[in-house]
Amino acid sequence: MTNIEHKLYIDTVIRRVETARLKVSGHHIVKIVAVSKYSTAQDIESLYSIGQRAFGENKVQDLKSKSIELDEYPLEWHFIGNLQKNKINNLLDIDPTLFQALDSLELAYELQKKLAAKDMTLDCLMQINSAKEESKHGFMPQDAKESYLTMIEKCPNIKLKGVMSIGAHSEDKETIKKSFETTYSIYKELPNATICSMGMSDDFEMAIECGSNMVRLGSIMFK
Ligand SMILES: *Cc1c(COP(=O)(O)O)cnc(C)c1O
């Protein structure tokens, strides 16, 4: 694609986000995080040149190399992948804008320790396994609220901003929708939560209509 074709193509994605958010309300603002995990630094540069600022990666090593390579640009980096305990310090060295996949109390306690040692804080989202799938990480819906409150109490260096979830792995739209509704209903119950991150390339419109205000778009943004 030429630059102009790319811009026109991205405009169609943005228009789809617009249409979905306006169905909720004119005041419902949705942020697009471009998930660059399958893309190169050059692809990111090209999206930056047409206005995209927030990017997401799911491997600490990739986040590190791309953020170093693109250091000259004012980008916002989101870490959206499963974080192994032995990679926590590497992630903290990068100091991302938002860690979206805080998926267990055990990880939270370890993260808290390392944050306190470095005298820093980190904005995080609690990942919810809303469809209770074996293949997915995250807190079970029935434990989510209590665990969120526990983390607020016991992990002062973790600044919880809301929730993240991946839609149910299903062909059935109702099943996917139900998983988004589960996440949204938990989000509404949490104190001071402002970010509900759900929706990917294949299901972002439905996620927005269920209340998502942050979509993580990979394949559709980097065509
Ligand atoms: C890869 C990934 C995405 C983006 O997926 P697409 O279907 O390519 O839009 C979003 N969220 C998470 C957690 C991911 O790992």
Could you tell me the domains of the chain?
A: 3-221 (3.20.20.10)
Residue of 80, 135, 197 with the most ligand 1 atoms within 8 Å of its CB, for mutation: 80
Task: Give the pLDDT confidence of 22-56 residue by residue, as tens digits.
Answer: 999 999 999 999 999 999 999 999 999 999 999 99
Task: Give the pLDDT confidence of 112-132 residue by residue, as tens digits.
Answer: 999 999 999 999 999 999 999
The whole-number pLDDT of residue 4 equals 86
The whole-number pLDDT of residue 1 equals 80
Question: Which atom of ligand 1 lies closest to the CA of 217?
Answer: 9
* 223 has a pLDDT exceeding 90: no
Question: Which atom of ligand 1 lies closest to the CA of 221?
Answer: 9
Whether 196 and 183 have beta carbons less than 8 Å apart is answered as yes
d(CA 203, CA 166): 10
The residue assigned the tokens 């209590």 is 146
CB of 218 closer than 6 A to ligand 1? yes
- Residue 158, classed as helix, strand or coil, is strand
